[in-house]
Structure formats: structure tokens, C-alpha cells
Amino acid sequence: MPEFQVGGAVAVGEQPIKGLISPAAGARMTVAETLTNLLAAPITDIKDVKMSGNWMWAAKCEGEGARLVHACDALCEALALVGCAIDGGKDSLSMAAKVDDELVKAPGTLVLSAYAPCSDVTKVLSPDFKGPRDGDRCTMVVYARMGSSMSRNRLGGSALAQVLRQVCCHINSDLRILPYLSVVLGKPLLGVVHEVIWCLKSMQKVFPA
């Protein structure tokens, strides 16, 4: 392969609002967002993915140190499940300020920056629909449900919950399929990558303001 076709893939993930409800779930969702953001690039292997972790937390405030530990434990477990690792990062653990008599805290946030070798930059996927590949009769459209079964919609900390001022009123967003991400990453199984956007107007019937 020509050298100019070999490159690197970079992706970022962060889920601070979900971390307000559950630091552990927020960390897992951060890992998932980071890795799914790499899906469009033909990386060499999931084991080649390395991440830089940036912790921004008001760790000196009451209860925040324990929340940070829960998030860190969940992060380590999630990375072990998918088979990649953090090789560096930084922390800002004084994310609080006192203004007059009011204590203002930033939400505990983990930002992951992932990078991996990209075997062929000309094969990066785009969101537009493609026709059947050579030898295939049709193109299949698959909706990958990242959370759980259809009977349990986890909307805590979601954009919809924020719009409706119900961030903590629902079961926190979480996921169960982290190990399966390693099956898809770096494999020529996909032809298109596209995000699913929920229509706020239709969802307001289910979760009225």
C-alpha cells in the first residue's frame, strides 16, 4: 500500500451530564462514545487504540472524591472489556470556586482522546447510503441499540431530558454491549456510519414538560 494512504484516526468522547446521575455510567458512556466515533475509520486493531484521559473534577468537595473513584473504576473495567488502554493524560481536580457565599462546582468530567493507526485513509466511511458491494445482492440498514432492550429506555442525562428539564428524572443512560465494539472496530463490516437523531417533537408526547 502506498505510504500516503496510511495515516491515523483520532476521536474524542465525553459525557459529563450523564455523570451527574451516575459517575460510573458516565465513564462507560464516554468510552463507548469515543470508540463509536472511531467506527468510520479502518483502524488496524482494537488493541492498537490508545487513549489520553483528562479528568476535570471538583475532587476536594464533599462526596466528589468518592464519585471520582467510582468513575475511575468503571473506566478501568470498560477498557479491560474492549481491550484497549490509556497511555497518558492529565487532571484538573480543583474544578470549584466560591463566589461570595456560593460554591460553584463544575460537573465531574472525563474526556477521552483516542488515536489509532489507520490502515487506509481512502476507505474512511461517510454517512451517505451506498449501493450493494461487489457480490452482494442488497444493502442492509442496521440500527444498533447501544443501551438495552426496547422495554427499558434510559434517558437520564440525555439531550432530550435536558431540553425538558428532566436530567435526573429517568433511568441513567448506560450500555451493555461494550465487548461487541471490538468485533466491529477495524473490521470491514460496515459501508456507512450515521448517527441516529431523535425527534424532540414526537418524544414530547412520551415525556411532557
Per-domain residue ranges of the chain: 7-208
The most confident of the ranges 55-64, 125-134, 154-163, 168-177 is: 55-64
pTM: 0.76
Residue-wise pLDDT for 51-71, tens only, equals 999 999 999 999 999 999 999
Residue-wise pLDDT for 166-177, tens only, equals 777 656 667 665
Contact 172, 157 (CB under 8 A): yes
Q: Quote the CA–CA distance of 54 and 137 in Å, as a whole number.
A: 46
DSSP state of 172: B
Average pLDDT, the chain: 77
- Please report, to the nearest 10 degrees, the dihedral formed by the alpha carbons of residues 141, 203, 16, 166 taken in order: -160
For the domain spanning 7-208, the CATH number is: 3.30.1330.10
